[in-house]
Structure 1
Amino acid sequence: MTRLTDHLIVISFDCLSALDYSKLKELPHFKELLSTGSLCKNVESIYPTVTYPCHATIVTGNFPNRHGIINNTFIQPGRVSPDWYWHRRHVKGTTLYDEAKKAGMKTAALLWPVTAKADIDYNMPEIFANRPWHNQILVSLFNGTPLYQLEMNRRFGHIRKGLNQPELDDFVLESTVATIKDKKPELLLVHFTDLDTQRHYHGFSSQEANAAIRRHDDRLGRIISALKESGIYHNSTVIALGDHSALDETKAIQLNSLFNKKGFISLDPKGRIIDWKAYCKGCDGSAYVYIRDPSINDEVKHLLYELHRSRSNGIQQIYTGEEAGAMGADPSCAFMLEAELGYYFKDVLEGDLIHTITPEDVKEKRYTWGSHGYSPKKENYHTIFMAWGKGIVPHKELPGMHLVDEGPTFARLLGLDLGSTDGKVLQELIDE
């Protein structure tokens, strides 16, 4: 298969929405990209629309039920901070970076989800210390490329303030610029989370979110400048994309607190889970319900439909596990729940079924003002895709596309093949 570009730069601006287009087209660096590139501002994401499943979809071209990353975190009832799907081993099948490496290409990834221990030449995985005895730098080094990460930390580590934003993305940016100039990777995957963080804790249209979009424009400009300075600009393709959008919320659905009261969850005197028969595993705007004791299946079903009868309980839709699987989500769940607008799910074990969020809740980071994870069919909830450079037809606007189409299209640009995928190559964007 003919290779159409020498360098593919994929920049994921987490939580960038189609609704942001009116701002992006007025910002200098996005405006420059859009003036000669192509775009789609009607990209349907996957279900559930959360970060790790989305990014696994982007590099595989498959839905979560096929690539195996069905949520951000594992089902670990009782864990205050469940482990995330950090590691490459959790992804079923091949990925874009696997195929690039097989073809002898130089690869790099910076904070791209689900890449810990991946076979990537220059890998700074998104993973954090999740045990009291863990050290963040050592955890990152052990799961990525040690010497490369040590070099980036030596040069730019002073910028970071733990996992706080915007400092974390500023560190990632400087590492990205240095990687382009020093390594000239043929495939570069970069993940920025500044906007996502601001929308969670300040709301979709907040001043803080708008400021993050302007910072992202500056980051895009720095990356383009690095491509020019390194002499690979004219042989490169730049992709700027979002993985999902977000919606504002004022109430949290705490279904496990009800399961606890019904005896489906057993706690010790300190409030820790001893055992469970049914458990609600939240994906923010949606939730999986898992049942370990089949004898209570009908009881749980009846309870859920009773809650569904009143919109004040926040459950917009109930799906069976089979229906969830048909939508690309985890078919092994007993039920999948979709939240009403203004609501999202929390894995809280005690308290009221519906919790009204307060500023103090958000300040203490117990709850958020905005989230995602909802059905991709919700209105005004699409994300965006922008492409420029070698192998891309200029001035093309697609009326619609799906997140699963991105991986096969990236593979085509690099002359690679992801095999049989749920998505397709966007031939309308490809300049042969």
Structure 2
Amino acid sequence: MTKLTDHLIVISFDCLSEHDVPLLRELPNFKAFIEKSSYCTKVETIYPSVTYPCHATIVTGNFPNRHGIVNNTFIQPGRISPDWYWHRRHIRGTTLYDEAKKAGMKTAALLWPVTAKADIDYNMPEIFANRRWHHQIPVSLFNGSPLYQLEMNSKFGHIRKGLSQPELDDFVLAATVETIKRKKPDLMLVHFVDLDSQRHMHGFSSKEAQDALYRHDQRLGKILDATKEAGIFENTTFVLLGDHSALDESKVVKLNVLLKELGLIHVNGAGKVTEWKAYCKSCDGSAYIYVNKENDIDTKKTVTELLSKLLLDQSNGIEKIITGQEANRMGADGTVFKMLEAARGFYFSEALDGAYIEDVSEQDALSKKYTLACHGYSPEKADYHTVFFAAGKGIRPGISVRSMHLVDEGPTFARLLGLDLGDTDGRVIEDLLDL
């Protein structure tokens, strides 16, 4: 298959939404880029629309029930900080970077989700120390490219302040610019989280979120300048995309509180879960209900009766309940017993204590106990699209695609690089390509 480009740089601005487009068209670097690009401002995301499943979908062209990353975190009842789907081994099937590597291409990924231990030449995976005895630097080094990360940390580590934003994205930017100029990768995947973090803590339309968009504009400009300095600008395809949108919320739903009261979750004196028959696994704007034993008819009956009662009153925060089969048809985890969609203004927590519904304060969000805006909601929610902009070699300029899906992005990237992801859920958006 013929390659359409020599270099592909994919920049994911986490939580970039259709509602951001008017401002993007005013910011200098985004404005200039969009004017030369082809784009879709109505990209349908996946279910659940959380970061790790979304990014696995982008590089596989498949829905979560097929690539296996069905949530950000694992089912670990009672853990305050469950482990995430950090590692490449959790993805079923091939990925864009796997196929690029097989074709002899030079690959790079900076904080791209689900890439720990991936076969990527220059890999700085998104992973954090999740045990008291772990330290961030060795955890990152062990799961990515050690010499590359040591080099980036020695040059730019002073920029970072742990996982705090915007410093973390500023560090990623510096490493991205350096990697472009010194390594000139054929495929580069970059993940920026500043906007998503500000929206979680301050709200969707907050000044802090807007400031993050201004910072992203400056980051974009520096990345484009780096390709010019490296002499690869004319032979590069650039893609700017979001993974999901977000919605403001002010109330948190804690279904596990009720499941514990019904005797379906047992905890010891220290509050640690010792046994569970049913568990509400949060995806923020949606939630999975798992039953521990498939043949536990009594538990399923109890959960069904509880959910039916809660659904009768909108103040309980549940907009919709679907079965595992229906979840599977939507691309989510089909092994669940039920899947819940939160009503607008609500989201789900896995907390076991307190009231079933709690109001969220600004202080709760600043302390990261709760959030003021989140995602994970159904792609069927109105005005909940993300975006896609592409420009450069191999892209026909000025094409506006009315609608596309997140699963279409991976196959389209593969076609640009002359690769094939095989039988995917998505399709190549040929209208965008200079064939």
Q: TM-score range by the shorter chain?
A: over 0.9
3-state SS in 2 of match to 1:48: coil
Question: 1:306 is matched with which residue?
Answer: 309
Question: 1:394 is matched with which residue?
Answer: 397
CA distance in 2: counterparts of 1:102 and 1:155, whole angstroms = 30
How much is the aligned-residue C-alpha RMSD, in angstroms? 0.5
Structure 1, 30-39 or 54-63: larger mean CA deviation: 30-39
Q: 1:359 is matched by which residue type in structure 2? A: E
Within the alignment, does 1:403 sit opposite 2:403 as a pair? no
* Corresponding pairs, count: 432
Question: 2:172 is matched with which residue?
Answer: 172
Question: 2:129 is matched with which residue?
Answer: 129
CA distance in 2: counterparts of 1:359 and 1:34, whole angstroms = 35
Question: 1:80 is matched with which residue?
Answer: 80
CA distance in 2: counterparts of 1:361 and 1:105, whole angstroms = 46
CA distance in 2: counterparts of 1:257 and 1:367, whole angstroms = 16
Q: 1:368 is matched by which residue type in structure 2? A: T
3-state SS in 2 of match to 1:381: coil
CA distance in 2: counterparts of 1:116 and 1:364, whole angstroms = 28
Q: 2:318 is matched by which residue type in structure 1? A: I
CA distance in 2: counterparts of 1:221 and 1:325, whole angstroms = 41
Within the alignment, does 1:252 sit opposite 2:255 as a pair? no
Per-residue deviation, 1:360: 2.5
3-state SS in 2 of match to 1:280: strand
CA distance in 2: counterparts of 1:126 and 1:363, whole angstroms = 22
TM norm structure 1? 1.00
Question: 1:182 is matched with which residue?
Answer: 182
Per-residue deviation, 1:88: 0.1
Is this contact kept in 1: 2:39–2:401, CA < 8 A? yes
CA distance in 2: counterparts of 1:366 and 1:307, whole angstroms = 24
Q: 2:377 is matched by which residue type in structure 1? A: Y
Deviation readout 1:54-82 (Å, 9 max, x if unpaired):
00000000000000000000000011110
Per-residue deviation, 1:359: 2.3
Q: 1:67 is matched by which residue type in structure 2? A: H
Deviation readout 1:380-424 (Å, 9 max, x if unpaired):
100000000000010011000000000000000000000000000
3-state SS in 1 of match to 2:248: strand
CA distance in 2: counterparts of 1:58 and 1:263, whole angstroms = 40
Gaps of at least 5 residues in structure 2 are none
Structure 1 segments, 4+ long, off by >2 Å, are none
Per-residue deviation, 1:134: 0.3
Per-residue deviation, 1:15: 0.1
Is this contact kept in 1: 2:200–2:365, CA < 8 A? no
CA distance in 1: counterparts of 2:137 and 2:144, whole angstroms = 11
Question: 2:54 is matched with which residue?
Answer: 54
CA distance in 2: counterparts of 1:329 and 1:89, whole angstroms = 19
Question: 1:147 is matched with which residue?
Answer: 147
Q: 1:73 is matched by which residue type in structure 2? A: T
Q: How does 1:346-361 map to 2 (within 5 A)?
A: 346-361=349-364
Within the alignment, does 1:268 sit opposite 2:271 as a pair? no
Deviation readout 1:245-266 (Å, 9 max, x if unpaired):
0000000000001101110000
CA distance in 2: counterparts of 1:83 and 1:363, whole angstroms = 22
3-state SS in 1 of match to 2:288: strand
Deviation readout 1:323-357 (Å, 9 max, x if unpaired):
00000000000000000000000000011110111
Question: 2:332 is matched with which residue?
Answer: 329
Per-residue deviation, 1:363: 2.5
Question: 2:90 is matched with which residue?
Answer: 90
Within the alignment, does 1:100 sit opposite 2:100 as a pair? yes
Q: 2:167 is matched by which residue type in structure 1? A: E
Identify the match of residue 365 of structure 2 among 362, 366, 383. Answer: 362
The percentage of counterpart residues that share the same residue type is 66
Gaps of at least 5 residues in structure 1 are none
